[in-house]
Amino acid sequence: MTNPMTKHLEALLRDMDGAPAFYVWVSVLVALVGLGGYALLMSVIHSLEVFEFTLKIPWAMMVSNYVFLIGSSTGLCMVASMGYVFGLERYTMIGKRAVFLAVFAILFGMASIMLHLGHPERAAVFTILTPNIRSAMWWMGGIYGAYIASLVVWCWLLLRRDLVANADDPGLKGTICRWLSLQEAMSTLGRRFPKSQGIIGKLSGMLDSETERSKWIRIFATLSLVSGLCAYVVEGSLFAHIEARAFWYGPLTPIYFLLGAALCGISWVLVTGIITYRVRGEDLPADLKDLFCEMAEILALLLSVAFLAIVYKMGHGLFVPNKAATVWLFLTGPFSLAFWMLEIAMGLVLPIFVLLFASRKQMMPGIMIGAVMVLAGYFMKRYDYVVASQIYPVIKNHLPSYLPTFIEVLLIGGLLGAFLLIYTLGDRFLPLKEKGYYDVS
Amino acid sequence: MNHPVKRMDRRRFLKIAASAPALAALDSIGIADADPIRYGKMVDTVRCIGCKRCMSACKRWNGLKVERDELVTDRNTSLSGNNWVVVNYLIDRRNRTHKNYGHWACQHCIEPACAGVCPVRAITKMPEGPVVVNEKKCIGCRYCYQACPYKIPQFDFVKRVTRKCTMCYDRTPLLNYMKPACVAACPVGALHFGYKQDVIREARRRTRDRGGRFYIMGLEEAGGTDMITILPTVPEDLGLVVAPRKVVNQNMDKIRITGAGFMGASALAGLMYLYAGLTRGRNRKGHDEPDDQTS
């Protein structure tokens, strides 16, 4: 007798057939997710005190991780929209991968902030029942809702044609594709409610027509880009509105956030694109190599702009009485090592040279290393930005301090691990692989 | 002991039913538009002896947990979810021999920044003066703490909500003129409670009587607060948080900042469009027709 579970497991193993590096990679991610689950359980059992955020620094690593992930999502959406909104056909090669990553970056970002809240269950109820339109946080929730919805539809429209084509595969991949293509759901709906058959038929016809599909892809891509940019501007405003935190406050903060989002988006595409091929043991197509080199050059340019922005922010901060204390924390204080070594050297300056050199030589590992450095530096930057800015002002000159607990690190590791695991499995079971240009007319 | 149960007879019921429309109509006569009766609290740090009776009274009235050693005199403590009022040493930086005790709690701003940022309107400024957190609505995001110029609202790790001084609004001063628990407990008159105008007048009288070499905090800070504090010198020298002398987190300021962000986003989209226009020629370089075949 064949157990259905065994059958599925066999199908899973058959579909996951790949290089040994792939299994190592997946095992590491599964371990991270398991440890993250343990940390989550601890936080539920032992209250939020298992996290090291304190009364004086109440926004800590969960918030910085949230800002990092949703910034990554907006950045990925920006990269994908180069192909589907602005009509650069070569960018459609990485469109599916970027949009898929954007969907899960925002979902895991939201998970991060939900775990940070004291009562996440109330958030959904009271943001609707008693909204406060003066609060950036309320706007952020609403706009991110619209962003997630349009992003999910965009992703589904991009994948649908390949999902339908792969639906007949015998293994697990076929089952997933059949389920995600919504064909079965549509036919069931048609059977249950015969009156809806007309609408379903019309919808199916529209989705099967290439011209109609391209049109709707462009519409949802535009909606996602607009809502994504608006949402991240509002996210930046959430910090920028706080007059009591001098380092956050000011109209340039949302613009810095957008710049950071662009850096992250490009870096994620480069890292995931190159590493996926390496893990599979395949060579990148020539077109994709050209595109990655072009993106690496853009990334280097943006890093230069980000470097100038940081010089301006720090230089200007030194002459503003309330900001100067926080700026000195970065320049010579307890955050100086992280600031100079990780943010500036590793996250900004070094990658410029690495990326430019590697793109000239078409060295994909070099580009990947440069992009990983940018991501690590940006993650650190968000951590420093959120935590260090809360040190001033303080009462009675007791400088509050914060270092994440082991449990907190495990939870963040679990969230990032789950994000990468879903991407890895998505890459394995969904048609994310680059196959040349789409028609975006 | 059993109390006799009062039964509502028909006559009483009809009286209440008949007066209900009149009571409902009262609300629309314009009472809401009239000037609110504002209360205020005054702290006289010069008179405070640091006995911490205000702290213990606050804890007793609000049912807050007593932490070890926090009610010991001359020991500085911090605000927390279970500590809504603290009495700490205030040492003058310019002259360290000058020491006073400072009663520190929510300043009950007239335009509270915390209420402006709470996404679910869990914090409200009551017409009588107190700024109150609705703990059943609070989602525990701690945004209010970030926005508060004085860093007052504190997160309770067990209840997972923000808590702070409520100026004992539940003692209903409008109805029976009860003072907040801390004010009622003060043995030396260092705390005073009353109508806001009277509180300001009293603060000015006390400073005038002492020769006027004192600072009254709360008249201009954060756009004015309903807690007025008489300090021996400026708050900067005492190590207190200094709020700007204007309303913080004004709505127009928020619109200005977010507007700048939207302009930045538009400029970014414009740059993307420009880049697409300039590099469109690179499309299909060395590339054939679209490959629509699935793997």
- Would you tell me how many other CB atoms lie within 10 Å of the CB of residue B18? 9
Cis ω on the peptide bond leading into residue B180 (within 30° of 0)?
A: no
Structure token digits, residue B73:
């005199």
pTM: 0.86
Decide if B271 touches A, using CB distance below 8 A.
no
> 3-class SS at B89?
strand
pLDDT tier for residue B45 given thresholds of 50, 70 and 90: very high
| pLDDT at residue B47 is higher than 50 | yes
| Contact present, B220 and B98 (Cβ < 8 Å) | no
Instruction: Output the pLDDT for position A257.
Output: 96
- Would you tell me how many other CB atoms lie within 10 Å of the CB of residue A325? 17
CB-neighbour burial class of residue B2 (10 A; exposed 0-12, middle 13-18, buried 19+): exposed
Decide if A128 touches B, using CB distance below 8 A.
no
Cα(A164)–Cα(A183) distance, rounded to whole angstroms? 8
Residue type, B146: Q
> 3-class SS at B171?
helix
Cα(B43)–Cα(B206) distance, rounded to whole angstroms? 11
Q: Kindly state the percentage of chain B with pLDDT values over 90.
A: 52
Please give the mean pLDDT across all residues of chain B: 83
Instruction: Output the pLDDT for position A427.
Output: 83
Decide if B203 touches A, using CB distance below 8 A.
no
Q: What is the mean pLDDT of residues A374-403?
A: 82
| pLDDT at residue A15 is higher than 80 | no
pLDDT tens per residue, range A364-384? 999 999 999 999 999 999 999
Residues of chain A with C-beta less than 8 angstroms from the C-beta of B276: 82, 86-88
Q: What is the mean pLDDT of residues A103-114?
A: 93
Cα(B193)–Cα(B47) distance, rounded to whole angstroms? 15
Higher pLDDT: A25 or B269? It is: B269
Higher pLDDT: A276 or B138? It is: B138
Instruction: Output the pLDDT for position A184.
Output: 77
pLDDT tens per residue, range A305-335? 999 999 999 999 999 888 898 899 899 988 8
Residue type, A168: D
Higher pLDDT: A22 or B161? It is: B161
B177: left (phi over 0), alpha (psi -120 to 50) or beta: left
| Contact present, B170 and B177 (Cβ < 8 Å) | no
Range 160-179 of B in CB contact (< 8 A) with A: 160-162
Question: Could you tell me which chain B residue has the CA closest to the CA of A122?
Answer: B139
Least confident stretch, A174-188, A378-392, B164-178 = B164-178
> Could you give the count of Cα atoms lying within 13 Å of A241 in the half-sphere of its Cβ?
30
Instruction: Output the pLDDT for position B165.
Output: 96
Decide if B240 touches A, using CB distance below 8 A.
yes
| Run of H or E including B192 | strand B191-195
Decide if A353 touches B, using CB distance below 8 A.
no
Instruction: Please name the residue ranges forming H helices in B172-220.
Output: 173-176, 181-185, 196-209
pLDDT tens per residue, range B74-111? 788 888 899 999 999 888 888 888 888 999 999 999 99
pLDDT tier for residue B255 given thresholds of 50, 70 and 90: very high
Which of B118, B155, B282 is opposite residue A58, by nearest beta carbon? Answer: B155
Interior/surface letters A30-57, b for 16+ CB within 10 angstroms, e for the rest: eebbebbeebbebbeeeebebbbbbbbb
Instruction: Specify the pairing of strand B131-133 against strand B227-231.
Output: unpaired
Q: What is the mean pLDDT of residues A150-158?
A: 94
Cα(A306)–Cα(A316) distance, rounded to whole angstroms? 15
Interface touch A394/B241, C-beta < 8 Å: yes
Interior/surface letters B157-170, b for 16+ CB within 10 angstroms, e for the rest: bebbbbbbbbbbbe
Decide if A233 touches B, using CB distance below 8 A.
yes
Question: CA of B158, closest CA in chain A: separation in Å?
Answer: 6
Least confident stretch, A236-245, A275-284, A344-353, B264-273 = A275-284
